[in-house]
Amino acid sequence: AEGPPPAPPGHERPAMSRESSASSMSERPLGARRHSRAGRSSGNLSAAGGADSHGAQASVRREPRESPLLVLKVGTSSLLLSDDSSQRVKLANVAQIIELIGELKRRGYQVVLVSSGAVGMGCIKLGIPKPTNIRTKQAVAAAGQSHLMRLYEDLFGTVRLHCAQLLIAQSDFMDKAHWNNVKHTIAECLKLGVVPVINENDCTNTEELRFGDNDNLAALTAVQLEADGLFMFTDVDYLYTANPRSDPTATALRVVEEPWALQVDTRDAGSGMGTGGMATKIIAARTVSTAGIPCGLINGVHPQRIFSFLDFGVVAARPPAAAGGQPPLPEGTYFKAMVHDQTVSDTRRWILSLPIAGELVIDDGAARAVANHKSLLPIGVLVVKGRFLRDECVKLVHRAAEVGRAIVNFTAEELTEIRGRNSREFEDILGYSACVEAVYRSNIILTTAP
């Protein structure tokens, strides 16, 4: 969702002094509406990205896993067939995916499955076409989700595996405590040897509180879990420079070096039963790349092609399979991970999950400061867009391109008044003492390689 989320009652709080704000907020847990601030800078900083006494967040680097974790996303087009005459399950496809997961488990991988298909399965169960009314969609999803999980339970049983259902809402990701709860539940499922099957809770979610599609949910889940790879099964062999169904000049992209800078024509309506398309998959690949996670796009008819990615060495925890030379390119599109010299902490991964409430257009000096892991100061802000509150997520834009996401310390109105101004002027302009940073450096995650 790109618009500002509705503010809960009482979100706007009176301004505090620098000292009282630092002491009271240090006791608050992290959350989308009350984000903890670990201290205040002292002194006046007159240039964007100047000296930064606000300490960087403690490193939360995890130890390498003995069993690499893969997130697999299966779309409706890989599960269901919809044509003029009927709607039905692609049973052979689904069975291949279950067999694939069984083989991955035998090879020592942990697997999380993000699966679409609740509405489509509901349509098959009830014998109705895909509904357009939101209330009917919710009811059909409720009917279809149980049918979908019964299918998974039966098929996983044939390969001696157990699965668990997790229905996720965007609100579970907007609050840091809920975000952590989901993360720990999935981790415990994996410890028990259970395959988590995750879907958006279409039964209760509304258009305003949706992830948008399961490509986005899969990407955010991979980021949340610090996965070693995200693999999305779709109905094409590769990502193309244009839609190959309508443009004969379209060429396949085998390896995408910089997903954050990718420019392709994605005018594709997607499958008749699903909600996503190629554009959403590119966004998902960009999201995980930002967090240092590689991504693969694979034709769902041939799910075993994932092994060509693993043999290629896409997952850093496992070296390439071929000895004495480079193995063949993966059979699909490989989106490389961004190489970070910035610690991708829990907070930074969580920031990627938040709805974007506005934009800050920053100047060259501020962009350099952010790239060098400094805080963003109001003097480096050129334009403020949107209507956001304190502690909401904003996009950082430099020269018309997104360069980062951040938790902002001021409301849009406050920042509009003090943008481009020296910190010594803040108290006179706002009428109260305020911190000197628009955004703390520990609350910024870069979305473009410096």
Token readout for 204 is 């209760």
The partner residues of 252 in beta bridges, in order of sequence, read: 240
> Are 395 and 402 contacting, i.e. CB atoms less than 8 angstroms apart?
yes
Fold for the domain defined by 18-57+346-446: 2.30.130
Fold for the domain defined by 69-335: Carbamate kinase (3.40.1160)
Token readout for 90 is 């692609």
- For the chain, percent of residues with pLDDT exceeding 90: 54
| Mean pLDDT to the nearest integer, 10-32 | 34
CB burial of 140-162 (b: ≥16 within 10 Å; e: otherwise) equals bbbbbbebbbebbeebbeebebe
Instruction: List pLDDT tens digits, range 65-99.
Output: 778 999 999 988 889 987 766 678 999 999 999 99
Q: What kind and span of H or E run contains 446?
A: strand 444-446
Average pLDDT, the chain: 81
> Are 115 and 89 contacting, i.e. CB atoms less than 8 angstroms apart?
no
pLDDT at position 37 over 60: no
Please tell me the predicted confidence (pLDDT) of residue 163.
97
Instruction: List pLDDT tens digits, range 173-182.
Output: 888 999 999 9
Instruction: List pLDDT tens digits, range 330-381.
Output: 999 999 998 876 678 889 999 998 989 999 999 999 999 999 999 999 999 9
Please tell me the predicted confidence (pLDDT) of residue 266.
56
> Are 182 and 222 contacting, i.e. CB atoms less than 8 angstroms apart?
no
Three-class SS of residue 153?
Answer: helix
Please tell me the predicted confidence (pLDDT) of residue 66.
78
The partner residues of 164 in beta bridges, in order of sequence, read: 196
43-44-50-54 Cα dihedral, nearest 10 degrees: 40
Please tell me the predicted confidence (pLDDT) of residue 221.
95
pLDDT at position 49 over 60: no
Please tell me the predicted confidence (pLDDT) of residue 325.
65
Please tell me the predicted confidence (pLDDT) of residue 356.
92
| Number of other residues whose CB lies within 10 A of the CB of residue 132 | 7
Three-class SS of residue 189?
Answer: helix
Please tell me the predicted confidence (pLDDT) of residue 19.
35
Which amino acid belongs to residue 53? S
Strand positions, DSSP E, 38-105: 69-74, 80-82, 87-89
Strand positions, DSSP E, 100-241: 110-115, 163-168, 195-200, 229-234, 239-240
Report how far residue 224's alpha carbon sits from residue 13's, in angstroms, rounded to the nearest whole number.
Answer: 30
Which amino acid belongs to residue 392? E
What residue has token string 């000296």? 51
Report how far residue 278's alpha carbon sits from residue 236's, in angstroms, rounded to the nearest whole number.
Answer: 10
Domain ranges within the chain, ordered by starting residue = 18-57+346-446, 69-335
Report how far residue 443's alpha carbon sits from residue 447's, in angstroms, rounded to the nearest whole number.
Answer: 13
pLDDT at position 251 over 80: yes
In 3D space, the residue among 147, 146, 141 whose CA is nearest the CA of residue 204 turns out to be: 141
Instruction: List pLDDT tens digits, range 381-430.
Output: 999 999 999 999 999 999 999 999 999 999 999 999 999 999 999 999 99
Distance of alpha carbon 337 from the chain centroid = 14
> 31 CB contacts (<8 Å, ≥6 apart)?
175, 176, 177
Confidence of residue 211 (pLDDT cuts 50, 70, 90): low
